[in-house]
Amino acid sequence: MSEQLVKDGFKEIPSTMPVIPLSGTVIYPFMVVPFFVQGARNEKAIDAAMNGDHFIFAAALKEQPPDDEEPGPQHIHTVGAVASVLRMMRVPTGGIKIMVQGLFRGVADKIQITENEFISADIQLIDEPEVPESQEVRALMRTVTELVERSVQFGKTLPPEFLAMIKNLKEPGRLADLVASTIDLEPGDAQTILEQFDTMKRLEFVNRLLTNEVQILEIQNKIKTNVQSEIEDSQKKYFLREQMKAIQKELGQKDPQDSEVEELRRAVKEAAMPEEARKQAMTEIDRLSRMHPDAAESNVIRTYIDWMISLPWNKPTKDRLDLDLARETLDNDHFGLEKVKDRIIQTLAVRKLNPSSKGPILCFVGPPGVGKTSLGQSIARALDRKFFRLSVGGVRDEAEIRGHRRTYVGALPGRIINGLKIAGSNNPVFMIDEIDKIGSDYRGDPSSALLEVLDPEQNSTFADHYIDVPFDLSNVMFITTANVLDTIPGPLLDRMEVIQIPGYTEDEKVAIAQRYLVPRRTKASGLDKARISLSTGAIRGIIRGYTREAGVRNLEREIGTVCRKVATRVARGTRIKKFGINGSNLGEYLGAPSAGYSPACRRAQIGVVNGLAWTPTGGEVLVIEAILMEGKRNLILTGQLGDVMKESAQAALSYVRSRAKNLGFVETFDDKKDIHIHVPAGATPKDGPSAGVAMTSVLLSLFMKKPIRCDIAMTGEISLRGAVLPIGGLKQKLLAARREGIMTVLVPAANKNDIADLGKNDIKGLNIIFISTIDDMLPHIFAERTSKARKRNDKIPSMKKPPVRNIAAKPARQKPKR
């Protein structure tokens, strides 16, 4: 046997002893612990201890070894407890159950595997330092003892003998170890207590851990108390409710729940539901009658029945099919839009002759601010129907249209059914706004759900997921609005009749402002006609210098700005009785013009032409420039041009080169020359095929060295053989040319029918020349180079665009000065 140590009455404690690794537990001095030992190496260590003096060194594992490996010296903490094996029992299935008592702290040295294949180590016993008595020590020990008693009050199970023992303890170190053995500790905290040889620091650390433990127990106790209170309250209500039922039965009164069920049955009968919907509602009411009032499912059923009762299953409004009155209503609410109004009157006429007819789904398409949404409201007023507007811009969830199934918490019907409930009738004018901006993602495709809604052949059996019974939408007049058609899915677009609402002309905007916008903004600002007046010149000045739009939304905003500034001066007590705003003083209210249009070419030049373009805010004159320079026969295109516009330039160059011999400029083509075409306003993206004619003209001017007239503009797509093809947005382009003072416009002959559809005011004063080929264009585009013009550096007299303020000051019928 190795060298013997003597410690506290133990006369023969070996300095070398077997080591038992502990997983997830720590043994403290004075602690009796049973645990299970398994593994060949550990069993041999126990056998060695039992064959000797029953002493082992129990130390916690620093880290778990791999599954296929037993713990080794490298896995074991060096600080542990010297313990005596009190009892041992082998288990038939393998392993050993032992009970040990911790005796002393110890530090292991030379941990190794012996020849007998178990772990042993040299152990140095740690003396427990004596702590002199003081008020601080007594206070800390008393605090720990009281915390243990509080933990017992909050439900921690400890034997009464333990509480009595710790009250009588005088050694702070022993108190710390005993209390630590009762706390649910993390392995790291437990090992920290064992390794803390300073008695007071150990007791303070135990005090902190015990305080945290008591706080957790207090919260747990509070939760248990609240739950128990709720259960008792629920049971109390149940017994009281049963007693009330018994009393009501004796008095011959009905149960409140039975009265509620009868009320729901009566409401379902009065709702005039279809048979299928009535059966579904009655089934749910029967379920509710058999259910406890406090059950979670009962609230779900009540909400569902309330929705079923509140829907307008058979509540139509009577249509007012007076065509003259309808036309008068539309005329009072909207200026112009004759085609749109005629189409609406046609729909009303068909409905008057055949009330059962299924009308088309109208889709109003046009730029922002032209009155698409307000037109739907006017239709509702003309028909004397309810109106509901649903904006689907940005909607990406199919459930927004069809609703959620009732299996989901907080489920509700879709916005179609919700709109009908709000409208209170089953035949409202239902406007679906911004249908071109609807989206889709992983939650479904709302546009696919709208296919059923907007199909007159299918929407009579529209099934919302929440209602789960068919609802007839065939009496609803659906109207949709969009800014563009490109983003609307094909199948959805096929179900709608598209009505184009183009932008307003300047004269139309002036009329709209005088008839609607000025009175509305004047009233909104607290003014009247006696205080303010806006002349026609002022309105034209706002349109030309401060707005850039196809509609009138910004125009109304700027008129509102003028009215507010006048209202401010009136509120301050000005002596001016009436404010007259005209073109000359408009800048005092709105500042310098901020939204002028792109200036057209004002001087005949080689390689410069006025093209025409369509934008969402109206038409524009597009100046196209070209130069020839030294290079490597490249075509350079700048100005943020799209792919289609670039292809138009390529087609134009190919055509011009193919005609070089006929037009007499073969020598112009040189392998060392580059052609650069630029479209100003380079920060604005541009695309479309309608610039083909203008591209061809500017290249012909460049190669033939002839200036192009500055008082002419052109539009049209070209083919490689010089054919001029039709384009869109003709009205807006013609208005843009006239606005810039350009009165001669070259237009594809294929667009003659579009000209016929335009009003007289739209083309008043314009000289429209129809061309079918590039050869038809050539006699009209080149400027005459007179001797006087050459002396003035090729400057050709042209129609100059007057300043905005001068134009605004003049009446609309006067032409600008040349």
Determine the Cα–Cα distance for residues 816 and 203; give it in Å rounded to an integer. 100
Phi-psi sector, 8: left (phi>0), alpha (psi -120 to 50), beta: left
Is residue 468 within 8 Å of residue 406, measured between CB atoms?
Answer: yes
Find the catalytic residue in 151, 690, 697, 798: 690
Q: Which two tokens stand for residue 714?
A: 């052109």
Burial class (CB in 10 A: 0-12, 13-18, 19+), 435: buried
The letter for the amino acid at 100 is: V
Spell out the alpha helix ranges (H) of 290-337: 296-310, 323-333
CA proximity to 550, closest of 334, 802, 371: 371
Angle between helices 323-333 and 372-383 (to 10 degrees): 150
CA proximity to 315, closest of 272, 355, 277: 272
SS3 assignment, position 569: helix
Task: List phi, psi (to 5°) of 24.
Answer: 80, 10
Determine the Cα–Cα distance for residues 765 and 308; give it in Å rounded to an integer. 62
Find the catalytic residue in 372, 386, 686, 733: 733
Burial class (CB in 10 A: 0-12, 13-18, 19+), 223: exposed
Vertex 313 angle, CA 308 and 319, to 5°: 150
CA proximity to 596, closest of 808, 804, 809: 804
Is residue 19 within 8 Å of residue 61, measured between CB atoms?
Answer: no
Determine the Cα–Cα distance for residues 30 and 47; give it in Å rounded to an integer. 23
Is residue 579 within 8 Å of residue 533, measured between CB atoms?
Answer: yes
CA 265 to chain centre: 41
Is residue 744 within 8 Å of residue 767, measured between CB atoms?
Answer: yes
Determine the Cα–Cα distance for residues 795 and 553; give it in Å rounded to an integer. 40
CA proximity to 26, closest of 228, 182, 257: 182
**Unique residue bearing structure tokens 């032209």:** 370
Q: Which two tokens stand for residue 81?
A: 């407890």
Burial class (CB in 10 A: 0-12, 13-18, 19+), 598: middle
460 flagged as catalytic: no
CA proximity to 122, closest of 15, 195, 21: 15
Catalytically active residues are 690, 733
